[in-house]
Amino acid sequence: MIKAFTATTREVDDPKAAVSEITSALNIEKNLLKNSLGIISCFSDFEETGVLKAVCDSLPFDCIGTTTCLCAANGEADQIIFAITVLTSDDCNFKTVVLPIVGDYEKAVDTVLGKQLAQSASMPVVFLSYFPLINIISGDMILTAIDKVTGGIPLFGTAAVDHTMDYSTAKTIYNGEAFREMAVLGAVYGSPKITYEIASLNENKIRKQKAIITESDGNILIGVNGKTALEYLEEIGLTRNELATGLGIIPLVVDHKDGTKPVARAVFALTPEGHAVCGGAMPVNAILSIGRVGAEDVLQTTEKTMISLVENDSAILGYSCMARYLALGAENVAEAEKVGEIAGDTRYMFTCSGGEICPLPDSDGKLKNFYHNYTAVFCRIS
């Protein structure tokens, strides 16, 4: 069994005050069990002012996580906030590992992660996963490299994000240090109760036209129905102006034909050849559709998912795509506030995401790891 405790602070300029507020709220002398792990989400300023390191140095367990541009916990939702959820247990164990995502990162993942698994008497039930946001290496590529080593152990988490236009301060977090090019994993061992859910696109907003991906290269969509990606998109009625100005709000929907729920994909750019650079893998022979995302859809899908998750004596971790945050416009905290409203007394932490990591069950009930876009992903753990 895993218990959870959550604390927040807005003391961005005063490390001493922040430590006092966090440690007082966690009351670790009373609440901490034999094994513990801290999950952090915070605005990047908390790293720059030394609050992040001070808080982590004050705690007697490993802390992992990411920066974000919006965080919600304990009934609060704001940009400039530091939140930590502590998972603690007498019969479950936690181990952390840092993976460099530079150069021959696949070899590094194989060596570092493989060594940790080889030294463990049992296999983790999940890796809480925090990926860097790197232009030249998609989150799906990192996920695939980890899957090859672990054999598909469930991954749940997020890619780092921040409030800047170029995401220059988006970093992963490990024990008070913040990294631009490191993935950080927290392995959970034992027999906790874990449930995964996603809130994605409104099914009624997905176009009826279906197509087949006929050529791709990882996250590059090259051909659809034998045409280039650009030709296909224009053929179904998207104008060049829409494609030039609205790529970030036109989600693709990929059905892997294996019984898992369809996965939403962002299109980040179109190449001169008419290929689409997407936010995740675009496998050949998968079914492709086009969706839409709006403020009402964001709130409705999240509300429906959260209602099914809330349970006494559990904790909920949630990560929601930056596109959902942007779709809410001036009311960009509305989804986070909705989560807090439904969670009630349930411990939760909900933050904005640069890419969502969550497994989905296939037609046989086997969990398969996916990297999502336009999605809010949730993990209930107890």
Do 48 and 167 fall within a single domain? yes
| Helix (H/G/I), strand (E/B), else coil: 170 | coil
Say if residue 278 is in the same domain as residue 371: no
Q: Could you tell me how far CA 132 lies from the centroid of its own chain?
A: 11
Query: Last residue of a domain, which of 272, 290, 308?
Result: 290
Residues 166 and 186 in one domain: yes
Q: Can you tell me the distance from the alpha carbon of 175 to that of 62, in angstroms, rounded to the nearest whole number? A: 6
If asked whether residues 67 and 144 sit together in one domain, one would say yes
Report the pLDDT value the prediction gives residue 47, as an integer from 0 to 100: 97
Range of the domain at 236: 203-290
Question: Predicted confidence band at 135 (pLDDT cuts at 50, 70, 90)?
Answer: confident
Q: What is the token pair recorded at 72?
A: 């919600």
- Shared-domain flag, residues 212 and 191: no
Q: Are residues 89 and 19 in the same domain?
A: yes
Q: What is the mean pLDDT of residues 295-322?
A: 94
Both 191 and 246 in one domain: the answer is no
Instruction: Based on the fold, state whether residues 65 and 195 are members of the same structural domain.
Output: yes
Domain match, 187 and 223 both: no
Share of residues in the chain with pLDDT > 90 (%): 82
pLDDT-based confidence at residue 96 (cuts at 50, 70, 90):
very high
Q: What is the pLDDT of residue 248?
A: 58
How far from 98 is each of 128, 179, 182, CA to CA, in Å? Answer: 12, 10, 6
Number of H helices, E strands in the chain: 11, 26
**What CA–CA distance (Å, rounded) separates 205 from 199?**
14
Do 72 and 160 have their domain in common? yes
Same domain, 301 and 171: yes
Domain count, the chain: 2
